[in-house]
Structure 1
Amino acid sequence: MIKNYFKIAWRSLLKNKAMFGINILGLAIGIASCLVISLFVVDELSYDRFNENADRIVRVTLKAKLGDENIRESSVMAPVGSTLEREFSEVLSSTRLKNTFNVQKVNTGTKKIRSGKMAQVDPNFFDIFTLKFLKGNAKTALENPAGLVLSSSLANTYFGKEDAYGKTLELEGFGIYTVSGIIEDVPQNSHFQFDMFSSLANNEEAKSQSWMSGSFHTYLLLDKNTSSEALEKKLPVIAKKYMGSEVKAGFGMSFDEFLSKGNSIGLFLQPLTKIHLSSNFTNPDLSAGGDIKTVYMFGAIALFMLLIACINFMNLSTAGASKRLKEIGMRKVLGSAKKQLVVQFLAESFLVTLVAMVLGVAMVFVALPYFNDLSGKSLDWQLIVKPLNILLFIVLTLFISLLAGAYPAFFMSSFKPLASLKNRFSSGGNKGIRSGLVVFQFSVSVALILATLVVGQQMDYINKKDMGYQRDNLIVMRHAGLLGSNLNVYKEQLLSDPKIKSITMSAFIPAGPTDDGMELITTSAASMEKLRTRSYSIDEAYIPTLGMTVEKGRNFSSDFSTENQHVILNQTAVKTFGLKGEPVGQMIYKQTKEGSVPLTVIGVVKDFHARSLHEPIEPMIMQYNPYYGLILKTNTADLKSLLSSMQQKWEAFGTGEAFEYAFMDQLFNETYVKEANMNTVLRYFALLTIFIACLGLYGLITFTTERRFKEIGIRKSLGSTVPQIVALLSKDFLKLIGISLLVAFPVGYYVMSIWLQDFEYRINMQWWYFAIAGVSTVVIALFTISFRSIKAANMDPVESLRAE
């Protein structure tokens, strides 16, 4: 019996190959899009969930407000973890991680190699985080301060096929270690990516009892009956108890008085599973996180694309019901029950979905590498062929079959035999549902087009905005300091090349990863109001090399031996410090452990964006301190020759260090890579969404012309022109497109307003964004309708009038 259902279903589908093809193509694209985006969403949501106690691990973070500055830091002071463990029974254990930042240079005894990112951690780190040991013991691997845990990949890099366990190696700047453990590589869906771990026992800062400075990522393992929200409510008491005396010493006021002036400082808890998608810190985190808003948006796109594809199937099936009225009537007359007809039509739905699912999965295999390039992911097609996912595909096929086929099945099986045999039925309610579904399809399409326009315009704004510095023709050598004492010699060699206009020595870069300096500044020696201020260490060539503008005063100069006692401010610093009158010549004071250091303001530089446009321009001081990195201003188009010459000079020093460089404009673009990827992905899926919607529209107009076949012939016989007939067939659909615009515009405006709020500097949505989204949708829909309508209007009326 079941075999018979599918045999009849297949024959029925083949009777109308055009509609069968439209359904297959639309569903396949919808399924493929949904699967690809779902892989992205699942990967983003899976971060850190591989840890056995992921739901019980939290990270302690710091938030403070000092005057106008809002501080959000993912790392805290050294004693925080042990204190919370001691103060609260809900905290079962705590552990810390300190990022050493640089790639390590290692001497294995047989070779020297710079490879591997190291973190210093407490010995119990592997008790809290689930990282699988291949060699060694997780509980004892770091009990010895000279122990070192390597990832399997890094162990292979250092020692090849030899067993690395127990081997000795030397880390430049850290000392000699023995490999006490080998672990599997840290999973890609972890918020930290390190391939070697050493003990914090060798770090003197880890023993500090200061509650005002520190950079330790601190994690707590909570009791299973404790919520992070409940524990967090108790933390203000800890802040006052342990920070109070240091606030008194640093700011000259009690903790309560400090708070009464509008300041705040405290500890907060961040669930481990939310770190990747919900981090927004002013200090560099362990890795570039994702964005929960992007996940929500992409998840909605995946759902909508699948729904639109299913809506096409429902619309085309119900619209085509009129062609099967006699078939349904005959089946009922010959004894078919409604249940049997429902099963028959569901069998057709299942066959269409099955074919579409196979085709959709094939599309995923083809599209996944391209999607990885767009999204910056490394999603693997093998995820699709896992047994659990294959089972999921089977369930999804059945679900889509029911979702897309249930309404048409019950609708068509409900026709009365007599009306069916007379080829008559009322489609009023069904037509209303179809119209609503068309409105939904195009509302989603218009909203996506609008989103693509807004994101594209914001990216264009970012690329064209005056950042306060020039980023063209600049080569950045962030790690030039690896040359050590040869750095100045290398700089002079480069300056002798006519292809290089100027060079500045500084590791402070206004785009991409950079050294991050902060100073406590007061405006008078006696003032206790300290302002945390960003600081750049530069030389006299920095400002002209980057094309910055000195608004007042002068730049640094090597002609003066006392430049380290001077400072240049940005315009925002002048306002924040409240410097009245002429700022040049006034004094500010840098607070150090040794006391207050006076600095004379010699210049004011025009504000520039030292960080991304997500953040406001902060007060900044520039100090004379040539440091570590090099930034080169070039005046040649022959970069290949220049870079080759630079590399030869670098390698001539024989340090064994790799020659590395980046272009400033490239670093700038990398700052907004998430937004750029989102812009590209949105563009593609907007096109796919409207393509699927137009497939459905084409199918509907095809059925409409077939149902009004004789009417079209009569109208042509009575003198109607082709444009009049096209207008007749188009007007109802264009009304639905108009309604979809009215729905999509406010929804799109609301969603994109929320997205733009993440930028401190952003565009204002203009009326023409909506005009372009609306007009482009109407034009595409009109073209789709006209393509089929014109063909129908041009048919010989004699053929339509004599057709049964």
Structure 2
Amino acid sequence: MYKNYLKIAFRNLWRHRGFSFLNISGLAIGLTAGFLILLYVGFEISYDNFHSKADRIYRVVADIKTPTDNIEADIPAWAVPPHLEEQFPEIEAAVRISGLDMLVRKEDIKFQETEAKIVDADFFNVFDFKLLQGDADNVLKDPFSLVLSEKAAKKYFGNENPVGKTVKIMEEGHLATVTGLMEDFPENSHIKTNMVVSMATYTKGMDRDVDSFWNNYGAAGYILVAEHANIDQLVAKFPEFLERNNGEEMKKSQMYVNLFLEPLIDVYLRSTRGGAGGGNISNVYIFSIVAIFILLIACINFINLTTARSVERAKEVGIRKVIGAGKRQLGIQFLGESIVISFMAFIIALVLTAIAIPFFNDMAGKIISPGIISSANQLPILLLMSLGIGVLAGIYPAFVLSSFKPISVLKGSFSSGTRGILLRKGLVIAQFTISIALIIGTIVIYNQMNYMRNQELGFNKEQTIVLGTGVSPSQKALRHAIDDLPNVLSTSLSSSVPGKSNSSAYSEVENINGDLQIANLALYFIDEEFIPQFDIPLVAGRSFSKAFATDSTEAMVVNEETVKLLGYSSPEEAIGANFKQWGREGKIIGVIKDFHFKSLRQPIEPLTMRLEPKGTDLLVVKVNPKDIQQTVAAIASKWEAIIPNAPFDYYFLDQSFNKQYQTEERFGNLFLNFAALAIFISCLGLLGLAAYSTLQRKREIGIRKVLGSSVGGILNLLSREFVKLVIISFFIAAPIAWFFMYFWLEDFAYRITLQWWMFALAGASAIIIALLTVSFHAIKAAIVNPIKSLGTE
């Protein structure tokens, strides 16, 4: 019996090849998109879950309350983690992790390791980063010991065993011993590095007193708590801990700290403090919804095309019922056909997914999955998804087809009925509601990304090369050599550039009331050429000048936001205000116009600038746009001659600044592609319905042509019904899309406003897409000779 069901199913699929192709391909594409999104969502939520103690590891974060603001820091003070471990028995271990831009040399091999990490000795005991060689208890115990990843070991030592060998680190050339070899860090770790250096190296070679720094913030802190520890009770003890260890200093500085704990598995996706984060749980939710929408559209296609063809199979059902087939048997047969289609779609989806994964990884900007085989553990989910869709999508058609009355259908009096027509219209409306909502989302996301790319930044970042020279005696010599190159327009020195992290300094600045107002202010160390080189407008006072010797010891330039913070009604009022900052005292000599020195996701913050030659580790070079490659080669030649022990370390500022928006760009590209897939699947279903509708009305079309109807009239007749459904869909989709896009834009400090034309464009696009989809069959039917249409009458 079941063999016969399968035979009938395949015969029916082959007989109606066009409809079968639309059904299977639409479902296959939907499953492919759904599986890719499943891989993406699964990968994003897997961050840091591979650590066996992940449920007991917490990141220590701090709220720092000053008289003027509340700073939500993603790191604690340097002294906090080791003292937490020492004073709380429920904390088994504490680890600090600090990024380090470090020169590493081995004979002629030299690299500027920008992602090296300084970590405490318990690093490998807290985190499950696999050691291939070395003992977790001892590899980071001693000063000048480090552990290399497989990738870094190959870079420095080739195929040799690196353990026990030495490299020179930092500008001073300290000799450091490789004490361990670790596996390359997994892609789904928010901590990423190729080299970890012992904290003892830092305390011995750079700063011996770091463990007593209660007001200096420079390293992320993680703690491992004991099993069954009560986290709420632990956090409740932190205020007393801070008061005991740093209470007097907090009162003196008027900077009051509160400590909190973030679960390790929340750091990447759910933390609002930035830093080690980088994911976005909202994007995960959005893609999950898009996946559901795409699969829903594929289901709707199946139901629509199957029920639309029910008239053709009515006589088959009637005959089978007359010869004894029961409703249950017919239901099983039609449901089985649905499952066969879904299984065929599953096989095709596997092939399409295998082809798409490399391109999907490129769009996502990371290795979501190496290939279909590595994701084999998720294939049963895809199979269950496809079979589930087959069952869910096939239940209604099976019920409808198996319920036909044999006497009625064999007399030819059967029609699909009002309920069937209303169902199909309702499903088409649902399809295009989803599609229009996705089109609106795509338009909004594209315009927001375009707005961020083209926003007036308040400074000139074009044709600017940034050299990471470090604070070295050779920096000035290199600058003078580069100044003499023909295509170099200007050079300057700084501690940071827009788009990169900057220092924050405890500051006391005179406000409108004449009081020294305490605040934690962003700080740039620069030279006299920095402000004019970046074309940052001066709105009051003057900039730094070599004509004033005191500028290097007693002067500060601030931005407009700092003026507002201090309560002055105009920038001119702030000129001459006194300040104290990091051991310096002096006066504000100038106010610059606000510029975006951070991402457009963040509002412009108060910024201070000071002349500090010993704190400038970047050499900024403005070049002529002509022959840039030749200019870079000339700069590299000067570098090799003057700083031969360090690798040529440079980047273009505009490219670096734009990298801040890579996450949003990739999200936008992924959203656009999946939205396009959803619309394409909708069009496949609409194409099938249009073909069937045209087939059902071919005699009517023939009669209308005989009576003088034009091709345009026929086209209008067949398209009008579908256009009405799209218009209804638009009025449903518009408010839904507005709601979700409004809240998505809330994540950006600088954002576009939702405009009426975005919704109108989406609606018009949907109508055009529907018309183009329907018109093919409508025109084909309209130009057919009416004699062929009426030949059977």
Task: Verify the 8 A CA contact 1:553 1:584 in the aligned structure 2.
Answer: no
What is the distance in 1 between the residues matched to 2:761 and 2:48?
42
**SS class of match (2:648):** coil
- The counterpart of 1:324, out of the listed 313, 320, 345, is 313
TM-score of the pair, normalised by structure 1: 0.91
Task: State the match for 1:151 in structure 2.
Answer: 149
What is the distance in 1 between the residues matched to 2:173 and 2:627?
41
Is residue 270 from structure 1 mapped to residue 262 from structure 2 by the alignment? yes
Task: State the match for 1:441 in structure 2.
Answer: 431
Is residue 30 from structure 1 mapped to residue 30 from structure 2 by the alignment? yes
Deviation at 1:235, TM superposition (A): 4.3
Farther-moved stretch of structure 1 (139-148 vs 734-743): 139-148
Is residue 51 from structure 1 mapped to residue 51 from structure 2 by the alignment? yes
What is the distance in 2 between the residues matched to 1:566 and 1:554?
11
Task: State the match for 1:220 in structure 2.
Answer: 223
What is the distance in 1 between the residues matched to 2:7 and 2:683?
30
Task: State the match for 1:336 in structure 2.
Answer: 325
Is residue 389 from structure 1 mapped to residue 378 from structure 2 by the alignment? yes
**SS class of match (1:295):** helix
Farther-moved stretch of structure 1 (45-54 vs 154-163): 154-163
What is the distance in 2 between the residues matched to 1:179 and 1:383?
37
Task: State the match for 1:161 in structure 2.
Answer: 159
Over 3 Å counting, the alpha-carbon distance change for 1:103 and 1:654 in structure 2 is closer
Over 3 Å counting, the alpha-carbon distance change for 1:640 and 1:327 in structure 2 is same
What is the distance in 1 between the residues matched to 2:78 and 2:379?
48
- The counterpart of 1:586, out of the listed 569, 573, 576, is 576
What is the distance in 1 between the residues matched to 2:420 and 2:208?
73
What is the distance in 2 between the residues matched to 1:374 and 1:674?
10
Task: State the match for 1:255 in structure 2.
Answer: none
* Stretches (4+) displaced over 6 A: none
Is residue 681 from structure 1 mapped to residue 667 from structure 2 by the alignment? no
Is residue 193 from structure 1 mapped to residue 182 from structure 2 by the alignment? no
**SS class of match (2:48):** coil
Over 3 Å counting, the alpha-carbon distance change for 1:682 and 1:207 in structure 2 is closer
What is the distance in 2 between the residues matched to 1:472 and 1:452?
29
What is the distance in 1 between the residues matched to 2:114 and 2:660?
24
Matches within 5 A, 1:573-652: 573-579=562-568, 582-583=572-573, 585-592=575-582, 597-626=584-613, 627-652=616-641
Is residue 546 from structure 1 mapped to residue 549 from structure 2 by the alignment? no
Task: State the match for 2:249 in structure 1.
Answer: 246
Over 3 Å counting, the alpha-carbon distance change for 1:640 and 1:756 in structure 2 is same
Farther-moved stretch of structure 1 (16-25 vs 395-404): 395-404
Over 3 Å counting, the alpha-carbon distance change for 1:383 and 1:47 in structure 2 is farther
Per-residue CA shift, 1:512-556, capped at 9, x if unaligned? Answer: x34434342231799564111111111111111111111122221
Task: State the match for 2:503 in structure 1.
Answer: 516
What is the distance in 2 between the residues matched to 1:486 and 1:207?
28
- The counterpart of 1:472, out of the listed 462, 484, 489, is 462
Matches within 5 A, 1:39-188: 39-85=39-85, 91-107=90-106, 113-115=111-113, 117-172=115-170, 173=172, 175-188=174-187
Task: State the match for 1:451 in structure 2.
Answer: 441
Task: Verify the 8 A CA contact 2:561 2:604 in the aligned structure 1.
Answer: yes
Is residue 311 from structure 1 mapped to residue 314 from structure 2 by the alignment? no
Deviation at 1:196, TM superposition (A): 2.5
What is the distance in 2 between the residues matched to 1:2 and 1:157?
62
Unaligned runs of 5+ in 1: 252-257, 259-263
Farther-moved stretch of structure 1 (723-732 vs 601-610): 723-732
What is the distance in 2 between the residues matched to 1:618 and 1:110?
44
What is the distance in 2 between the residues matched to 1:361 and 1:783?
30
**SS class of match (1:672):** helix
Task: Verify the 8 A CA contact 1:104 1:117 in the aligned structure 2.
Answer: no
Per-residue CA shift, 1:385-425, capped at 9, x if unaligned? Answer: 54423333333332232233232222222222223323404
Farther-moved stretch of structure 1 (228-237 vs 700-709): 228-237
Over 3 Å counting, the alpha-carbon distance change for 1:786 and 1:387 in structure 2 is closer
Deviation at 1:16, TM superposition (A): 0.9
**SS class of match (2:790):** helix
Per-residue CA shift, 1:774-804, capped at 9, x if unaligned? Answer: 1111111122122212222333333323337
Deviation at 1:611, TM superposition (A): 0.6
Per-residue CA shift, 1:107-165, capped at 9, x if unaligned? Answer: 4x685554574322222222221122212222333334454322222223232222222
Task: Verify the 8 A CA contact 1:590 1:598 in the aligned structure 2.
Answer: yes
Deviation at 1:712, TM superposition (A): 2.6
What is the distance in 2 between the residues matched to 1:485 and 1:522?
33
Deviation at 1:365, TM superposition (A): 2.8
What is the distance in 2 between the residues matched to 1:240 and 1:436?
65
Which letter maps to 1:516?
S
Task: Verify the 8 A CA contact 1:415 1:425 in the aligned structure 2.
Answer: no
Which letter maps to 1:194?
T
Matches within 5 A, 1:391-790: 391-423=380-412, 424-477=414-467, 479-481=468-470, 484-511=472-499, 513-523=500-510, 527=515, 529-564=517-552, 565-579=554-568, 582-583=572-573, 585-592=575-582, 597-626=584-613, 627-653=616-642, 655-790=644-779
Deviation at 1:337, TM superposition (A): 2.5
Task: Verify the 8 A CA contact 1:587 1:598 in the aligned structure 2.
Answer: no
Deviation at 1:298, TM superposition (A): 1.4
What is the distance in 2 between the residues matched to 1:6 and 1:205?
78
What is the distance in 2 between the residues matched to 1:86 and 1:440?
61
Alpha carbon RMSD of aligned pairs, Å?
Answer: 2.6
- State the identity %: 37
What is the distance in 2 between the residues matched to 1:426 and 1:555?
81
What is the distance in 2 between the residues matched to 1:722 and 1:779?
19
What is the distance in 1 between the residues matched to 2:697 and 2:379?
44
Task: Verify the 8 A CA contact 1:134 1:183 in the aligned structure 2.
Answer: yes
Task: Verify the 8 A CA contact 2:111 2:647 in the aligned structure 1.
Answer: no
What is the distance in 2 between the residues matched to 1:712 and 1:580?
76
Deviation at 1:344, TM superposition (A): 2.1
Which letter maps to 1:466?
E
Task: Verify the 8 A CA contact 1:365 1:381 in the aligned structure 2.
Answer: no
**SS class of match (1:575):** helix
What is the distance in 2 between the residues matched to 1:747 and 1:265?
42
What is the distance in 2 between the residues matched to 1:744 and 1:81?
51
Deviation at 1:313, TM superposition (A): 1.1
Deviation at 1:243, TM superposition (A): 4.6
Task: Verify the 8 A CA contact 2:94 2:122 in the aligned structure 1.
Answer: yes
TM-score of the pair, normalised by structure 2: 0.93
**SS class of match (1:197):** strand
Deviation at 1:622, TM superposition (A): 1.1
**SS class of match (1:602):** strand
Aligned residues: 782
Deviation at 1:189, TM superposition (A): 0.7
Over 3 Å counting, the alpha-carbon distance change for 1:768 and 1:126 in structure 2 is same
Task: Verify the 8 A CA contact 2:110 2:646 in the aligned structure 1.
Answer: no
Task: Verify the 8 A CA contact 2:556 2:590 in the aligned structure 1.
Answer: yes
Task: Verify the 8 A CA contact 1:78 1:205 in the aligned structure 2.
Answer: no
**SS class of match (2:313):** helix
Over 3 Å counting, the alpha-carbon distance change for 1:158 and 1:472 in structure 2 is closer
Task: Verify the 8 A CA contact 1:106 1:115 in the aligned structure 2.
Answer: no
What is the distance in 1 between the residues matched to 2:525 and 2:271?
28
Per-residue CA shift, 1:441-476, capped at 9, x if unaligned? Answer: 111111111111111211222222221101222222
